[in-house]
Chains A and B, each alone.
Chain A
Amino acid sequence: MNEERRNPDVLLERVCADETSRGRLKVYLGMAAGSGKTYAMLSDAIVEKKRGVDVVAGYIEPHGRLETENLARGLESLPIRRVSHKGIEIGEFDLGGALMRRPRILLIDELAHTNAPGSRHQKRWQDVEECLSQGINIYTTVNVQHVESLSDLVQKITGVQITEVVPDHVIRKAEEIELIDITPEELTQRIKEGKVYLREKAETALNHFFRPGNLMALRELVLRLTADRVDEQLKTFRRQHEVREIWPARPRVLVCVSPNFLSERVVRSASRLAGSLQTELVAVSVDRSTAHLPAEMTEGDPQTSLDLAERLGARIIRRTSVDVVTEVLRLAREQNANIIVVGKPIRSRIRDYFCGSVVDELIRQSGELDVYVITDKAKDSFIPLLISPGKVTRHGTLKAVALVSVATGVCALAEQVLDISNLVMIYLLAVTWAAARWGRFESVIAAILAVLAFDFFFVPPRWTFAVSDVQYVVTFLVMLVIGLLISTLTARVRAQAELVARKERRTAALYDLSKLLARAATEEQIAKIIFDQSKVIFGLDAALFVLTPQGDLRPANETPSGFEKEVNEMAVAQWVSDRNAPAGAGTMTLAGARGYYVPLPGHGEKGIVLGIAKGKLSWDAEQRSIFEAFSSQVASTLERVYAEAAATQQELEVERERVRNVLLSSVSHDFRTPLTTITGTIDTLLSREPSATPESKELLMLVKMEADNLSRMVRNVLDLTKLESGQLKLNVEWEALEEVIGAALRRTQSQLGARKIVVDLDPELPLIKVDAALLLQVFVNLFENVSRHAPKSTTVNIVGKVSHGTLTLTVTDDGPGLPQGSEARVFEKAFRGRGDTEGFGLGLTICSAVMRAHGGGIEARNVESGGAQFILTLPVPEQQPEVSYVA
């Protein structure tokens, strides 16, 4: 099948690109300081300003470059925010001021800058993001060494440590990138002339970062980055215009993030690879229980690498499993990845041989998947792993000494009966016991002590460490290795048991949470459960921030620490609620807060926020994933509670409406019955009594006329009551205006009598979605109005047209017109027209209410020739219903 298919990703991309509310980002990209980015940016800004665009310089780095400063003076500048940090006053970009000033274009220099502590965001690029999200267009500058995925390359080339980086996605999302190219020679020249740095500094600069070799390499990097982008744009263009091509689902790149020193490099390489393949990057971290490994082996939390991956635009998946290889391969297939990038520290062959290597195993099992391995020399060796002592405690040492002493005692007693080689068994028993009961450190110490004690006390020559028979050396070695192996294996078993136990605890905690939440019926109850369970699971205070009916955020519960009531914390929560993004402690936004805040999907536009007082505490993967599960359970419970509340409210309203309808229809019934009887009786009398005198006939006619009036008034009062109750549900259907007018004319036929009606409706009049019965009433009321106020010789013109999605209908008579100055008041309740002795004057009020209920309107005026004109407008549905002309 070669049918046309539009890749949903392509459409989504285009939709995202079309998003107009977001500001546009233009990046001036240079290879190094002094390449002229700021100058170019300012020049462009001045051109824009001359064209009348509202341009403001948000922050221009004061490098003391004369030409640049002269240019900047030509622009309005935002005041600099002064921050004092450790006694030094620092000037910072004022985000709040910028958002308040809201220029069309805002200039912010040095995208990679790190804000002074206490700022809203840690990084300037986050400030820029926020401005963009508020619809402000941004011009900014950045050097290639600050592009996150390239920073390690630059570091390798130049040997300079780079700390300030901008995530690639920020730059990738820029609408425009302007490359500021300069030859290394020219840049060197400019530095020599002191245009970039002061003279003394220039010399050092030229000998370090600005070495010609470095500059050439940097230039290549920046050119390549720009070329890649042009390529990407070309591909995007082609994708948007060649929809006929079949697009295969693009396989993704999967990167394994493991806790080792290589992982950041691995992540960066994988990101570059995914970028050049134009595909998505998935970062996977499989947490093995590492409790049995010494701290220096695990090299910390993979979280920093995962954070990096996230900043580089990767999707993050965390799993816990003992079998890393199977898990990674399963994920790769699940995620449709055909390339796996993994890091492998190069270790000694012996170590690989004995311990095996995850990467080797991965390659062996990878099958059709490509595995890219990134390597570097590891600092560790095989031996430390075996004897690495685990958690060192004095207590543990004492226990090990005591244990070995006891074993030695037992050996001394058993020496009479047992062979010396069997004494070794007793020592090994002790080591095993230490490993099983206490832990790795104790068992390692015990193993070493056991060898020493055995040598000292039992191996001839006794009471000395010397050994007469060389064979015993073998015994010692084997004894030591077996002891260490036992301790390693036991520790691993114990670690796995711990892993299982931890999982179980987590499951139990979440189970408890869901059990409790299932019973919660109000925000307050949920908040209380959150607080209690957070204490149990995390040992931290947690608060729920909910919205008041006015849309403000307020804490739903009180915590003993009271963090939720602090002004600063409330402000962070408000920010999270407004922006629908997490912030606070442990994040890059408002990191100074005591609490960590995540948005929960709530009702309406603003989110509900869950805050947890975390302080400086950092979480491991386990706690993170529990917190995620925790917050998602809370979110779904809130959703349920809100849905229930809405349903109850709706039930109430339905009931209220039912009562109202019963009342109205019974009132209506009670009025109509006598009226029917009266008019019917007169009808009958008039037809039955030919003998009646003309006087009595006239009297009967009068009674009938008044009964008709009464019946109309009753109808109007009831209609208005319904309309004004606000409970009226429009029963809309597709209707033809022509039919409604026709029906109204027929109903008012007797009242209109001889008055001439000319209906001129555009033949192309579309169908409209209206409540026909109500609209009919509008026309009936209008025509009745004509019949009461215009003489019998009147001609009524009804003209209907459509323009700009609005249907306009004018009803014009050539009668006496409306009383001067009362054109707007005729729709008011109880307004009486000239000579309008009958009726409440409710008819036109009803017309107005009905038209408004349909999203339209009605106006009245006098035409120049003197008659009254009513102008009715109705919105025309954007789409007409489908009607097929073949049955």
Chain B
Amino acid sequence: MSPKPTALIVDDEQAIRKLLRTSLADTHDVIEACSGEEGVRLAATHNPSIVLLDLGLPGIDGIEVIKRLREFSSVPIIVLSAREQDGDKVLALDTGANDYLTKPFSVAELQARLRVALRAPVSTTANAILEFGEVKVDVASRHVSRQGKVIHLTPIEFNLLLLLLRHSDKVLTHKQVLTEVWGAAYAGQTQYLRVFMRNLRHKLEADPAQPKFFLTETGVGYRFRSGR
């Protein structure tokens, strides 16, 4: 059995730390910090495999912690936020966090996110054939089919699909998607996303209004759910 990965919990609430420690004890080695400064220090000295970070910290706040962590580490960061504003989540994600959970969250959800965060990104460069539901995607030839029927995707739609597949189960902010697919100049043009995501869903989902794969993270961005 391989050694358990180390999870760093940064939260000023003792109750939350205790809860997280108990729920993660089976799968992770847990270290705890009760302030942002301590969190950054522990991250530098212990090299954790994942960081669970509360956004509303006393002293330096969560966003600042992400910035400092990203100066030396690419460790996956999952943000725990009790804040109402989606803006903070988006800012955290755009600053370098990998995922977020809004309090109160269920432990099962947390563990699912942890698994995804630790997973390596899906390779789309190889001559892979990716599958989800009834859909098959041939990356090399850029062919997409559903129930065996060829589905025509425009180049933009295909690029969008590929980006989402590459980041399966991970949240992508509007800005990230727009920058990747259309370029930095389009970072604020969310209407592009609405139109192209709608097209993708209508082409690839059974019920576009109740999507199984192309999920909307309202106010934040999109998440492709692989079902793995």
Please list the residues of chain A having a beta carbon within 8 angstroms of any beta carbon in chain B.
Answer: 664-665, 668-669, 672-681, 683-684, 687, 707, 711, 718, 722, 731, 733-736, 738-743, 745-746, 757, 759, 761, 763, 767, 772-773, 776, 798, 880-883, 885-887
Contact = CB atoms under 8 A, between A and B. Distances in A.
A-B pairs, 7 with minimum CB distance:
A759-B209, A734-B191, A683-B107, A676-B104, A881-B191, A672-B82, A677-B15
B209 A885 contact: no
B112 interface: no
A740 B218 contact: yes
Given A711-B104, A743-B216, A772-B218, A674 B194 contact: no
B23 A736 contact: no
Interface string B187-228: 001111011011001100001111100011111000000000
A759 B106 contact: no
A878 to B, nearest CB: 15
B154 interface: yes
B107 A680 contact: yes
A196 to B, nearest CB: 73
Given A675-B104, A676-B19, A883-B191, A669 B210 contact: no
A885 B182 CA distance: 11
Contacts of A665: 56, 82-85
B76 to A, nearest CB: 20
A885 B154 CA distance: 9
B215 A743 contact: yes
B155 interface: yes
B129 interface: no
Interface in B92-142: 103-108
A665 B84 CA distance: 7
A745 to B, nearest CB: 5
B103 A676 contact: yes
A697 to B, nearest CB: 16
Contacts of A763: 202
Contacts of A772: 218-219
A684 B108 CA distance: 9
Given A673-B15, A676-B16, A680-B19, A767 B195 contact: yes
A763 B195 CA distance: 12
B191 A767 contact: yes
Nearest to B108: A683
Given A672-B82, A676-B19, A738 B209 contact: yes
B218 A736 contact: no
Contacts of B38: none
B195 A883 contact: yes
Contacts of B106: 679-680, 683
A759 B218 contact: no
17 contacts: A680-B20, A680-B105, A683-B23, A683-B107, A684-B107, A736-B197, A742-B210, A743-B215, A743-B216, A759-B207, A772-B219, A773-B86, A773-B218, A776-B219, A798-B209, A883-B191, A887-B183
A885 B108 CA distance: 40
Nearest to B217: A743
**Residue with the highest number of chain A CB atoms closer than 10 Å, among B23, B104, B108, B183:** B104
Q: Which of A677, A680, A743, A881 has the most CB of B within 10 A?
A: A680
A542 B20 CA distance: 76
Given A680-B107, A883-B189, 5 more contacts: A677-B15, A677-B18, A679-B106, A683-B106, A886-B156
B104 A759 contact: no
A883 B192 contact: yes
A185 B197 CA distance: 84
B23 A684 contact: yes
Q: Looking at chain A's contact residues, is the secondary structure mostly helix, strand, loop, or mixed? A: helix
B156 A680 contact: no
Given A736-B198, A743-B216, A773-B218, A672 B104 contact: yes
A776 B82 contact: no
Contacts of A680: 16, 19-20, 23, 104-107
Interface of B: 13, 15-16, 18-20, 22-23, 56, 82-87, 103-108, 154-156, 159, 181-183, 189-192, 194-195, 197-198, 201-202, 207-211, 215-219
Contact of A673 (B82, B181, B194): B82
A221 to B, nearest CB: 63
B209 A741 contact: yes
Nearest to B56: A669
A175 to B, nearest CB: 44
B82 A668 contact: yes
Contacts of B195: 736, 767, 883
Given A672-B103, A887-B181, A733 B15 contact: no
Contact of A885 (B13, B156, B191): B156
A742 B16 contact: no
A664 B56 CA distance: 13
A866 B158 CA distance: 46
A280 B144 CA distance: 68
Q: Which of A672, A745, A880 has the most CB of B within 10 A?
A: A672
A665 B16 CA distance: 18
A244 to B, nearest CB: 36
Contact of B16 (A677, A733, A773): A677
Nearest to A675: B104
Contact of B216 (A681, A739, A880): A739
Contacts of A738: 198, 201, 208-209
A679 B101 CA distance: 14
A673 B156 contact: no
Contacts of A767: 191, 194-195
Contacts of B182: 887
Nearest to A683: B107
Nearest to B208: A738
A672 B83 CA distance: 9
A15 B210 CA distance: 49
B103 to A, nearest CB: 4
A797 to B, nearest CB: 12
Contacts of B108: 683, 687
Contacts of B87: 731
A722 B85 CA distance: 12
A38 B156 CA distance: 73
Contact of A734 (B16, B154, B156, B194): B194
A558 B110 CA distance: 73
A665 B107 CA distance: 23
A735 B83 CA distance: 23
A739 B198 CA distance: 8
Contacts of A668: 82-84
Contacts of A678: 104
Contacts of B104: 672, 675-676, 678-680, 707, 711
Given A668-B83, A743-B216, A746-B215, A735 B13 contact: no
A683 B56 CA distance: 24
A673 B107 contact: no
Given A680-B106, A735-B194, A887-B181, A740 B84 contact: no
A776 B87 CA distance: 15
Contacts of B211: 742
A675 B154 CA distance: 46
B81 to A, nearest CB: 9
Given A887-B181, A887-B182, A740 B216 contact: yes
A56 B20 CA distance: 85
A375 B16 CA distance: 100
A678 B181 CA distance: 42
A745 B215 CA distance: 11
A729 B190 CA distance: 19
A773 B220 CA distance: 9
Contacts of B210: 742, 745-746, 757, 759
Contacts of A676: 16, 19, 82, 103-105
A436 B49 CA distance: 101
A674 B15 contact: yes
A83 B87 CA distance: 71
Nearest to B225: A746
A798 B208 CA distance: 13
Contacts of A741: 209
